[in-house]
Structure 1
């Protein structure tokens, strides 16, 4: 297949996935904007609370992500039975993880205090998490079914289901955060309720589509029956993926904790800048998911050359996307940051000043952040998950987090120093992950497919 066709296929899969990720991100963005207009303390609390939720969610999402390359390979090989088995057990594992993770949300207050957060912000974040934690179950189940549909190249429905949830979240936020139209004013608790409503709507949507449009897979028939071979196959692939995700997200979570040590204003600026950086990341993530599916298909077809050409196209698309984000962050930082803060907020200028510096640093890591997530997508597509887990743990926790602490606190660079630690960790991870795919993995696959 020529490079032009590879690009067309990648974008055909990737653009709806990008749209779905952006729509999902818009839900959190709506919370951030609305709570930023409610109060700075509420904004800081939900930055902390949503980070806490996301860390646990992303660990459990490893099982959902593992479903994607397995279904893509089974579809390419024409094995409908394997496709159904791994998806069902992905649902099982995700539900079990949701049950095990719930106590962390119910006892989040003491955990946040032990991590050095202020009593006021910790209490507000706890109020958010004891409600939002019950949304972990539907959120993980939705992700499994989205992975199943994406692997079957049904990416448009993934997009539309997510888009439909955005206005529902905004409406419930409007009613319950501020107490409009006669509803109670609940602040951060209202935002948590809105999140659960969104997750329930999304789950209903993907289940309905899978039952109606993919009825020939009989995905939910005898769902109660265990399939231990498929269960442990998904488990072995999913645990390293979850831990890899945790290592990366933990890097950003650690930066949020360190920013909390610097004060509420610094944490609020960090939260806004991180939202903008995360929005740019959604494009890379959608392309990475598409690369996983394309790599899984190449595995099913046993075609290493097809895999290599597709990988080059995916990395090129990510590079172009990164350069667009860099331009926006450098040219319009105050405008972008100002969208999140009430013009009447007394500390607006201080938050803007801190946020502009952080956006300049965010521009530094856009290219490498894109490269590392694209490399991860390709590695997952060829079902290599343990090596990337080790690389991520080393790059983010042994190098990135200590670098951020040293630059931010020991050398006195404050928030900018903490974010420079992100740059260092992401850069190292990108280099090592790309080397692993283009070196040992591709050589191994060429040898395997030739026999």
Structure 2
């Protein structure tokens, strides 16, 4: 057997597990993509409000998802050890913690307009964003539940069902958007309220799907058995692993949310262009996020078996696949940026040319940080699988908030480069995170990498 053959086998296994996860992330992303594309054709003011509202939702959702992400490496490790009872307990406590998080943050979404106005946003845009969040915010509870179940299923390598359930939810969202935003098929014309209702429907559909699958196809894991019984030991375990993951994710998504606030100071058209560019770059990021999930599962399995050589080969193969995806994304951003941005804007919109011009420039900057963004998220995936979350949390906070945000403010506001300067600051933050996290993984978490 040649040296290359094991790596081809690893690559095939990574893609077999990862492609459905990537597809599931892209289908989930399609919900936000559809909202933005349809609202963009409804009105630029509504698109600006949706950008703020969906960013606020994403900040809270991704922060709260830390407990769901914690379920994945734990379940992968316990599955490698054949500990079914611990798998059930970890998943159940992930649901408990997610529900508690929702109860704490929903009031923030209900009263979001004063918060957004205090951040310098236009009063009407802030009010419209609150209208969106009061409806879509209720979907945070099922959305977090879905994340826990997805982590549970992915760790057990049941990834295809995650893909198809998410695709079905995205289709339901698109149909509801078409009906409720514009008033088609006899439905009322609700504008941004319609987009919020459609997102709420999609989260509900997803939750019903994953719960039904777990009950029918995985009866050996009775997740609802003694669901209301406290499990302090495992609750502490999931919490201890999950809160640093949540804060790490919050640090990154908070950087992008802060960038939306900064760009909002420049006016509606730059904010709309920023929202469009974020939707496009987020779609490419989903590829690397799916590979990061694979990294977490594989690292968790290797940790459970104590197989460091397996982990070393998985790491090399995963990074190689991620870099290949970066090349494709950069080519698209540089060769067809106008086509990509134009998908989100009505041909008759009076601000179309201004939004297109800004959006094309932002995608050019985005091409610069594709590689570092991929490296940092895949490194995070492996570190989480090894249950190394606290030091990466500090590294992310330093990279994003001590370097990235000041650079975004300095370049965009102080030096007057506007939206391009803000996105330049994002690139600096992501680059710093990539260097720190990759070094953490290579030199400390995985010494076998240096030996192989």
Residue 221 (1) aligns with residue 222 (2):
no
Residue 135 (1) aligns with residue 169 (2):
no
Residue 335 (1) aligns with residue 339 (2):
yes
Residue 81 (1) aligns with residue 85 (2):
yes
Residue 27 (1) aligns with residue 31 (2):
yes
Q: Say if 1:364 and 1:423, in contact at 8 Å, map to a contact too.
A: yes
Residue 106 (1) aligns with residue 88 (2):
no
1:21 deviates by 0.3
Q: Which moved more, 1:147-156 or 1:188-197?
A: 188-197
For 1:37-436, what aligned pairs fall within 5 Å after superposition?
A: 37-436=41-440
Counterpart CA distance in 1 for 2:245 and 2:449 is 20
SS class of match (2:290)? helix
Q: Say if 2:442 and 2:449, in contact at 8 Å, map to a contact too.
A: no
SS class of match (2:348)? coil
SS class of match (1:177)? helix
Counterpart CA distance in 1 for 2:336 and 2:179 is 32
For 1:439-450, what aligned pairs fall within 5 Å after superposition?
A: 439-443=443-447
1:254 deviates by 0.7
Counterpart CA distance in 2 for 1:276 and 1:199 is 21
Instruction: Output the TM-score relative to the length of structure 1.
Output: 0.98
SS class of match (1:201)? helix
Superposed CA deviations along residues 362-387 of structure 1, whole A, max 9, x for unmatched, are 00000100000000000001000001
Structure 2: unaligned runs, 5 residues or longer: none
Aligned CA-pair RMSD: 1.3
SS class of match (2:182)? coil
Counterpart CA distance in 2 for 1:229 and 1:65 is 18
Counterpart CA distance in 2 for 1:399 and 1:326 is 24
Partner of 1:8: 12
Q: Say if 1:304 and 1:446, in contact at 8 Å, map to a contact too.
A: no
1:184 deviates by 1.5
1:5 deviates by 1.3
1:181 deviates by 2.2
Superposed CA deviations along residues 64-105 of structure 1, whole A, max 9, x for unmatched, are 000000000000111111111100000100011111111001
Superposed CA deviations along residues 188-207 of structure 1, whole A, max 9, x for unmatched, are 11111111111111000000
1:446 deviates by 10
User: Where do 4+ consecutive residues of structure 1 move more than 6 Å?
Assistant: 444-447
Counterpart CA distance in 2 for 1:274 and 1:167 is 21
Structure 1: unaligned runs, 5 residues or longer: none
Counterpart CA distance in 1 for 2:25 and 2:386 is 23
Instruction: Output the TM-score relative to the length of structure 2.
Output: 0.97
1:176 deviates by 1.1
1:182 deviates by 2.2
Q: Which moved more, 1:180-189 or 1:139-148?
A: 180-189
Aligned length: 447
1:389 deviates by 0.2
Superposed CA deviations along residues 136-190 of structure 1, whole A, max 9, x for unmatched, are 1000000000000000000000000000011110111111111122222111111
